[in-house]
């Protein structure tokens, strides 16, 4: 049994290139940390497991989506 579970605390979400990005904020030993979940029609993934600022998390989340879409386009060639 988990005595103190860490539930997501989504502070902001937005759509980017057809993906829904959700920014989660948590705190570990007094340090605020951010995680980004990337959701699309086929499922979801943790796009950014840990970032120290919200801006960094968003930038890396967008980069994750761009990379995935480029990989998909490359597999068609």
Dihedral pair phi/psi, residue 17, rounded to 5°:
55, 40
- Whether residue 48 lies inside any domain: the answer is yes
2 within a domain of the structure (yes/no) = no
**Domain total for the chain?**
1
Structural domain of 26: 10-76
Q: Is residue 5 part of a domain?
A: no
**Per the domain annotation, does 39 fall within a domain?**
yes
Residue 34 located in a structural domain:
yes
The pLDDT value recorded for residue 14 is 97
Question: Is residue 3 one of the residues assigned to a domain?
Answer: no
- Which residue intervals of 1-77 are DSSP H helices? 54-76
39-62 pLDDT, tens digit per residue, is: 999 899 999 999 999 999 999 999
Model pTM score:
0.85
């Amino acid at each position: 049994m988990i005595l103190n579970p860490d539930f997501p605390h989504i502070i902001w979400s937005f759509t980017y290139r057809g993906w829904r990005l959700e920014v989660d904020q948590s705190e570990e030993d007094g340090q605020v940390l951010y995680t980004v979940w990337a959701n699309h029609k086929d499922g979801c993934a943790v796009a950014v497991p840990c970032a120290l600022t919200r801006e960094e998390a968003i930038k890396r989340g967008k980069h994750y989506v761009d990379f995935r879409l480029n990989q998909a386009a490359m597999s068609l060639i």
